[in-house]
Amino acid sequence: MHAFPCGTLFLDFVGTLRARRHAEPTEMPASPQALDAWFVESGMMDEAPGADRAALATAVSLREALYSVTAAALAKEALPTDALAEVNRLAAGLPVQVQLGDSGASRTGSVSQGLAVLAREAVEILGGAQADLLRECSRPECTQTYLDHSRGRRREWCAMETCGNRVKAAAYRARRRSQKN
């Protein structure tokens, strides 16, 4: 089961390496089947694209390139050349196919088409006004980056249901402990 707290698919995809700063981060798309599941659960595709090991390696490589350019954008630094080249190369690919039929819209495609959508979204966001909305989750253990669309731009966590609740619960427990002493 994948999580989608970031407000945009490319940032949710970057977050598929959980606890990135830990000694042993958790690789969410650890298999071609898990990558297929991510594309379906994200709503990008209605059917699994049929990932194989090579497609998984390409996806992980894109994810790391997206992480590098996002981290640089957050830090207001120059975008890393190699990562930028990879994002731009994949953004030039064909997007997921969308068709309208009697039963509504359908979305199908290959892994490379899904990756093109993610790379293109990153180009649009990081290269536009929304780049100013990038934030990193304030929970020290979390490395999710999200777009802060909140009123006042004061959102602190990638998701209130996870990180926000953990931070607030820890602060509550700390206050209770200090009151007892």
Give the tens place of pLDDT for each residue, 64-112: 999 999 999 999 999 999 999 999 999 999 999 999 999 999 999 999 9
Q: How far is CA 119 from the centre of its chain?
A: 11
Q: What is the pLDDT of residue 50?
A: 97
What Å distances lie between residue 132 and 36, 135, 158, 174, 176, CA to CA? Answer: 31, 8, 16, 33, 37
Q: What is the pLDDT of residue 84?
A: 97
* Domains defined for the chain, CATH in brackets: 9-180 (1.10.3300.10)
The whole-angstrom separation of Cα 29 and Cα 49 is 14
Gyration radius of the chain's alpha carbons: 18
117, two tokens = 């959508």
pLDDT grade, residue 2 (50/70/90)?
confident
153, two tokens = 């731009």
The whole-angstrom separation of Cα 54 and Cα 51 is 8
Q: What is the pLDDT of residue 149?
A: 73
pLDDT of 141-160, one tens digit each? Answer: 777 888 887 777 776 766 66
User: Which residue bears the tokens 């991510």?
Assistant: 38
Backbone angle region of 152, left / alpha / beta, with phi > 0 → left and psi within -120 to 50 → alpha? left
- Please say if the pLDDT value at position 41 is more than 70: yes
Identify the CA nearest to 17 among candidates 36, 33, 30, 4.
30
User: Which residue bears the tokens 């990638």?
Assistant: 158
- Look at 177 and 104; give whichever has higher pLDDT: 104
The whole-angstrom separation of Cα 149 and Cα 109 is 30
Which amino acid type is present at position 5? P
